[in-house]
Structure 1
């Protein structure tokens, strides 16, 4: 089966870049070199973040469209898709780092998943930096650029990025949240990982609950408590997201997509898609043109 959309690594998305684990640049210069490539929907096999300091236009993240605003920051995880539609004068900072960049540095390889903006849920990944945090956030970006352009001490850059993530998480929290026990966070994280692995084959919460050695009621209660959604909703959202990604590939018929996603037939897939998206797969595909 053909690739649904282009998926870039750090070197191929930025012509002439030689480091496969890290890229840090001012956004204006990056856009001049890469705008034509990133204007269309594409994916990454690396983590990606952008802070806008000026400009306007739009960008999409997993098919959700956002208006560019100064001091808006967004994050992407490997596997997500996006596109840019900026107007002239947009500037800020862009950073790419590989999925393995922190692995040898952190004992907890899944540490980044503790931050909501690395959840893979686009609604949690686009944030506005409040006025009282802007200079501090900007200073960290400037220091990352300085290190990347100079001695390029990888561990120093790792420390600075962790500082950035902690700072952004702190200044963008709108209200104090109740402390969530680590065990609950772990169960939810494991559930999301299992969905990503099995969403084509397993569609029922009870099937995931069995894999996790918990009851379906416990799984649903946890999802409702932490996310305000049922376990079934999380599964459906992942199936729909993959369907949208595949619909960007004009070489794949709706029937082929339905088969790949393990639907009984094309009509069942179309009814499922329209029920939760409000439009048919064909209408969604046409809306991308």
Structure 2
């Protein structure tokens, strides 16, 4: 069974094949996406705010209902797909990883916005009714700027996108609002970043604890208290997620996926995957293939 697994570059969505950013009404954007392969992943940030329509939307194999004024924020590398119902509209923003790096002194400035962290559960935001008018005004301004041919067009678009992030970041306080600068929160965020950078090679909580200059017990207590999961669970969950992302590429064998994830033994990878997901790699692929029909 062969199936093409597509990783899209932002240039494939732009008219001149050179754009670093796209801001568009979603209905217009959708007309150009008839040949998309699903599920797929991007190498750029992909944001959608729906104002009309329904159906479902999946991010990293988690499904969410589409409702008006619900926004979806996807980081590079996340797998997603959709199943639309009715007349769809809203706004879409795509921008490359490099788009803000030359504009902001802090190259990791966007990391402070939790909805861009690549965690599916944090990627879906409902816009409160009293904030919708302002959010739509910001997006309309960004769309108008996109249509211009002025000297500072890109910088103006950057400003509007940042204004959007700041507005949404302020309205969604979550659990971090009153402890944004706390020591424990900083440790947890650093741990998550270290997992993202090292999960292929570092598999043990004690290895990350050493990098954070804390004890393994402290790290486990931190994760359990804040997330209800052990440090080891977070590491294993990230490995399992990447396994899922790779397994939907049917051109790769299970053995190739295992080796790419740094498992020397294919049978150990299969046992690991089944323990984490409740199904074998082949069973997972059959489910994905059935859902895609």
Fold-level match, TM-score > 0.5? yes
Q: Which moved more, 1:49-58 or 1:255-264?
A: 255-264
- In the alignment, structure 1 segments of 5+ residues that lack a partner are none
Q: 1:206: which partner in 2? A: 206
Give unmatched runs, 5+ long, in structure 2. none
Q: Determine if contact 1:200/1:261 at 8 Å carries over to the other structure.
A: yes
Is 1:27 the counterpart of 2:16? The answer is no
What residue number does 2:180 align with?
180
Taking a change above 3 Å as real, the CA distance of residues 221 and 118 of structure 1, as seen in their structure-2 partners, is: same
- Find the counterpart in structure 1 of residue 142 from structure 2: 144
Cα RMSD (Å) of the superposition?
A: 2.2
Residue 40 of structure 2, aligned match among 28, 39, 42: 42
- Indicate how the Cα distance of structure 1 residues 23 and 135 shifts in structure 2: closer, same or farther if over 3 A, else same: same
Q: What's the secondary structure of 2:51's corresponding residue?
A: strand
Q: Which moved more, 1:129-138 or 1:253-262?
A: 253-262
**Residues 156-184 of structure 1: CA distance to partner in whole angstroms, max 9, x if unpaired?**
22121111112112333367843133554
Q: State the alpha-carbon separation in 2 of the partners of residues 48 and 20 from structure 1.
A: 14
Q: 1:233 to 1:257 in 2, by over 3 A?
A: same
Shift of 1:264: 4.3
Structure 2 CA distance for aligned equivalents of residues 149 and 225 of structure 1: 48
CA change 1:234–1:176 in 2 (3 A) is: closer
Pick one of 86, 91, 94 that aligns with 1:93.
91
2:230 is matched with which residue? 230
Counterparts of 1:210 and 1:198, CA distance in 2: 13
Alignment-derived partner of residue 77 in structure 1 = 75
Q: Is the 8 A contact 1:200 1:239 kept in 2?
A: yes
| Mapped contact 1:21–1:101 kept (Cα < 8 A) | yes
Answer whether contact 1:15 1:34 (CA < 8 A) is retained: no
1: CA distance, partners of 2:226 / 2:108: 19
Task: Give the corresponding residue for 1:9.
Answer: 9
Distance 1:20 1:7 in 2: 17
Question: Structure 1 242/174 Cα, relative in aligned 2: closer, same or farther at 3 Å?
Answer: closer
The Cα of 1:286 is off from its aligned counterpart by: 0.6
1:236-260 deviation line (CA, Å, top 9, x unaligned): 1110011101110112222222222
1:52 corresponds to which of 7, 32, 50: 50
Q: What is the count of residue pairs matched by the alignment?
A: 285
Pair 184,230 (structure 1): closer, same or farther in 2 beyond 3 Å: same
Alignment of 1:126-275 (within 5 A): 126-150=124-148, 151=150, 153-173=153-173, 177-181=177-181, 183-275=183-275
Alpha carbons of structure 1 residues 15 and 99: separation in structure 2 relative to 1, 3 Å: closer
Give 1:4 deviation, angstroms: 8.3
Deviations 1:38-88 (A, max 9, x none): x51111111110000000122211111112111110101111111122134
Distance 2:247 2:201 in 1: 19
